[in-house]
Amino acid sequence: MSHPRCLLDYIPQRDSTQNVSDKLVVDGADGVGGEKLDNLKTRLGYLTVGVRNCGGGVLTEGVGADYVQKEKMAPRNFGPADAGMNGTGSCYDSNRSQVPAKYDIGIYFKANGHGTVLFSDAFLSWLEMKNQELTSTSQDSDQHKAALRLLAVSRLINQAVGDALSGLFLVEAILKHMGWSIHKWNELYQDLPSRQLKVKVVDRTAVITEKAETKVVSPAGIQEAIDAETDKYPKGRCFIHPSGTEDVVRVYAEASSQEGADHLANSVVSLVEQYLGFDRRLINPHYC
């Protein structure tokens, strides 16, 4: 904790009665991230980390955030006893969007992967200048500590790509700063029931999107068909986009009920097949 930009150095001290767990159990998803975290965990100070699914199985098979989101099930080697821990993380990378790069601080969230936080060069230059000014005029003031925290965040988060490890450490630091348990954090937002599916198509690059992948501009007509189908379901939303890692098109749907989300997703899968063609088999047979 000796580095001047260490985020944990700028977290207020909390009393011992607050329900903030110092234990974390991480699903390594049988990828390289779990192995790296296993090497790092002895250097994490207050945080006690347990790593499971650390290379002994098939990559992302029955494990990983994508599996948990789609199947609504805990990853392999996790059970009810893990509910008391601060939470679970999954280690893999995802692509980033260019949209948040327009702002001084842009936060990019990716539902089936890992987002990131982007800081513009102009903002970081201003922040460095402000930090120097506050160091000489009001060191250790609340404003100075806030500037130091932002600088520390900019160095902790991986701005080049959605990095599970840096995102995990940032979330843990924020929870400690706020004095929150994972359960308190979870209470901030209530997810609508959702379903993610993916379907193999003849050419995934035929799908062109805009507005942060929320609208499809090609093939012509498919967005209007998706909108018409979505309007049938209360609180319905549905998006499709080509995968950046697999030869598939991903379908995400949500609605006021799980049944509605499932039906909407499968209806839009049929539209994707109709407009783009497919290789005679849907990747997700359980929901067809």
Residue 147 has pLDDT above 90, yes or no: yes
Residue 209 has pLDDT above 80, yes or no: yes
Residues in Cβ contact with 21 at an 8 Å cutoff, skipping those fewer than 6 apart? 84, 85, 86, 181, 182
Decide which of 171 and 257 is more confident.
257
pLDDT band at 124 (very low <50, low <70, confident <90, very high): very high
pLDDT band at 279 (very low <50, low <70, confident <90, very high): low
Q: What pLDDT, on the 0 to 100 scale, is given for residue 2?
A: 38
> If you average pLDDT over residues 73-101, what whole number do you get?
58
- Domains defined for the chain, CATH in brackets: 11-93+163-186 (no CATH), 99-153 (no CATH), 194-287 (3.30.310.50)
**Token duo for residue 185:** 């954090």
pLDDT, one tens digit per residue, over 157-198 is: 998 887 888 888 898 889 888 889 888 988 988 889 999 999
Q: What pLDDT, on the 0 to 100 scale, is given for residue 135?
A: 94
- Using CA atoms, how far apart are residues 209 and 279, in angstroms rounded to an integer? 22
Q: What pLDDT, on the 0 to 100 scale, is given for residue 211?
A: 87
Decide which of 139 and 17 is more confident.
139
Query: How many Cα atoms within 13 Å fall on the side-chain side of residue 147?
Result: 20
Q: What pLDDT, on the 0 to 100 scale, is given for residue 109?
A: 75
pLDDT, one tens digit per residue, over 22-46 is: 788 888 888 888 888 888 888 877 7
